[in-house]
A and B are shown apart, each in its own frame.
Chain A
Amino acid sequence: MRKIKSLLLLFIVLSFTTAVQAQTNEVSAFEQTMRGNGRIYVVIAVMTTILVGLFLYLIRLDRKISKLEKN
């Protein structure tokens, strides 16, 4: 059940990012920052995503070990 939930969450996040990419005709402030300044913010977004992913993995591991300790 939890696995399905997390997969669903991942899907929602992914669809959200594609939705942001789909808005090309009107330039939002978000788009402007992402495209300005040599597009360095794109790199930051990628790096932050990796970091957050690793942190989520660490937190999951932490929780799992806590459960192991209880039994």
Chain B
Amino acid sequence: MNRKKNTFAQWWWKILCIVLLLFTFIKGLTVKIPNLPALEETSRNLFFHVGMWMAMMTLFTVSVVNSIRYLRTFNLKYDIYARQYSVMGIIFGLLGYATGAIWMSYTWADPNNPLFQSFGALAREPKLIGAAVALLIYFAYLVLRDSISDMDKRARISSVYNIFAYAMLFPSIWIVPRLLPSLHPGQEGNPAMNFNDVIPEMRMVEFPAFVGWALLGVWITTLKIRLSLVKEKRMNA
């Protein structure tokens, strides 16, 4: 009986993740959306492209929390947690970047201009540069962590660096892009989170989508963590 309860506690959020993402994919394509100029049907990308960034922010936040936990307890387990969460955050960030690139090619780029001219204009987007900087800082975290062979030193240095990386995340993707002129939405606030900007029908899909993507990221990360903990145990045994 007790065991059954345990399995339910382990599984309920994974089931929730599956249900929410299936809902996102089905409802996200069929829900009626306002026909905005230039955006048209692409507003549906709100459930997918923005979801990637929400998942990334969630994973990086969990990662930095685990780094702090490591520095408080010096338990190497938390360092492994922090590393795996930041790797998954980077993957979601890259997916967000790639999906954003596709989306902007058909909404921002002027079809009358040659591609390289459009690229010249779009590459100046502060939000793109900011996101690239943020991701590069996290790449540096991985390089730094994996280049130190002493386990305790590695954990300590990379945990401190992770806190700095998380602190840099805010100016680079939240603050600086907002201070500069940009085509990217979110200049004057949080359009996706603002209750007046998103019609209720879309909001009904949007929030489940964000939660679902974040849960998917956490799910994959827990698998990676469990695998590396098993590996660690085998190495010590």
Chain A interface (Cβ < 8 Å from any Cβ of B): 40, 43-44, 47-48, 51-52, 55, 58-59, 61-62, 65, 68-69
CB-CB under 8 A for A61 and B223, given A47-B25, A51-B21 = yes
CB-CB under 8 A for A40 and B230, given A48-B25, A61-B223 = no
- Which listed residue (A47, A52, A58, A69) contacts B219, Cβ 8 A? A58
Contact between chains at A40 and B223 (CB < 8 Å): no
Chain B interface size, as a band, is 10 to 19
Contact between chains at A65 and B223 (CB < 8 Å): yes
The main secondary structure of chain B at its interface with chain A is helix
Is B18 an interface position by the 8 A CB rule?
yes
* Given A44-B25, A44-B30, A69-B226, 4 other A-B residues pairs in contact with their CB atoms under 8 A: A58-B219, A58-B223, A68-B230, A69-B230
Instruction: Give the number of residue pairs across the A-B interface with Cβ within 8 Å.
Output: 34
Separation in Å of the B10 CB from the closest CB of chain A?
Answer: 9
CB-CB under 8 A for A58 and B22, given A44-B29, A47-B29, A68-B230 = no
B227 proximity list for chain A (CB < 8 A): 65, 68
Residue ID in chain A nearest B29 by CB atoms: A44
Contact between chains at A55 and B18 (CB < 8 Å): yes
Is B178 an interface position by the 8 A CB rule?
no
A43 proximity list for chain B (CB < 8 A): 29
Contact between chains at B226 and A48 (CB < 8 Å): no
B22 proximity list for chain A (CB < 8 A): 48, 51-52
Is B14 an interface position by the 8 A CB rule?
yes
- Which listed residue (B14, B25, B226, B230) contacts A51, Cβ 8 A? B25
Contact between chains at A44 and B26 (CB < 8 Å): yes
Separation in Å of the A53 CB from the closest CB of chain B?
Answer: 12
Contact between chains at A62 and B223 (CB < 8 Å): yes
Is B123 an interface position by the 8 A CB rule?
no
Residues facing A in B24-47 (CB within 8 A) are 25-26, 29-30
Contact between chains at A65 and B29 (CB < 8 Å): no
- Which listed residue (B14, B26, B223) contacts A48, Cβ 8 A? B26
Complex Cα distance, B28 from A40, in Å, reads: 12
